Amino acid sequence: KRVAILISGGGSNMLRLVESMTGDHPARPVLVASNDPQAAGLARAAGLGVPTAAVSHRDFPRDRAGFEAALLEPLLAARPDIICLAGFMRILTAGFVRRFEGRMLNIHPSLLPKYPGLDTHARAIAAGDAQAGATVHLVTPELDSGPILGQARVPILPGDTPETLAARVLAQEHRLYPEVLRRFAAGENGVLEL
Ligand code: GRF
């Protein structure tokens, strides 16, 4: 299976995904693309020998469709079977999502369906939750709402700040996403609980 990964920043999840696709893994990375040409993850991907592309959304002010059309060029050229959004911070239109629906995954730093959107850790702490975590789900046109493929849970500890909780969750993201991708690429069903 050919996997394209979309990032917006450091790409720590992308790195773990790329590093996991070796040996008898059913998938291989064919592209890492970003909406930010300065994304540090692009150099990290190139360092691992993965082709990269960047399309700046800032070149398409108030023109989401134009940005997506430009992004589709390198994306379709890579002939991906699976797309992984990994720290990708742009909202995709329904039209874009529908082109890949059923084979586009995303990782979100909360135990969905709780806390879709931003600032998930501050919201979980403010709510007094005992647990937080990350979710890998299939992408549908509604934000952070598709079928869940896997979740990882962590405790929220006394004195946690959004930063300390984010670090604890991110470590679990790095375990969860590669395992969910491997199972998804192998055609396995079920929800992975870590
Ligand atoms: C992190 O907040 C992570 O929880 C979320 O995206 C952000 C950046 O991740 N998935 P990455 O290091 O770019 O993968």
Q: Answer yes or no: 174 catalytic.
A: no
Residue-level pLDDT, tens digit, the chain, 194 residues: 999 999 999 999 999 999 999 999 999 999 999 999 999 999 999 999 999 999 999 999 999 999 999 999 999 999 999 999 999 999 999 999 999 999 999 999 999 999 999 999 999 999 999 999 999 999 999 999 999 999 999 999 999 999 999 999 999 999 999 999 999 999 999 999 99
Q: Is 44 annotated as a binding residue?
A: no
CA of 13 to the centre of ligand 1 (A): 7
CA of 87 to the centre of ligand 1 (A): 4
Alpha-carbon distance of 59 to 186, in angstroms, equals 38
| Whether residue 78 has its Cβ less than 6 Å from ligand 1 | no
**Predicted TM-score (pTM) of this structure:** 0.97
Which residue CA neighbors atom 1 of ligand 1 most closely?
87
Return the HEC string of the chain: CEEEEEECCCCHHHHHHHHHCCCCCCCEEEEEEECCCCCHHHHHHHHCCCCEEECCHHHCCCCHHHHHHHHHHHHHHCCCCEEEECCCCCCCCHHHHHHHCCCEEEEECCCCCCCCCCCHHHHHHHCCCCEEEEEEEECCCCCCCCCEEEEEEEECCCCCCHHHHHHHHHHHHHHHHHHHHHHHHCCCCCCEEC
Q: Is 110 annotated as a binding residue?
A: no
| Pocket test residue of 7, 8, 13, 36 for ligand 1, highest count of atoms within 8 A of CB | 13
| Whether residue 29 has its Cβ less than 6 Å from ligand 1 | no
Q: Is 112 annotated as a binding residue?
A: no
Q: Is 82 annotated as a binding residue?
A: no
Note the pLDDT of residue 174.
98
Note the pLDDT of residue 51.
98
Atom of ligand 1 nearest to the CA of 88: 6
Which of 57, 108, 137, 174 is catalytic? The answer is 108
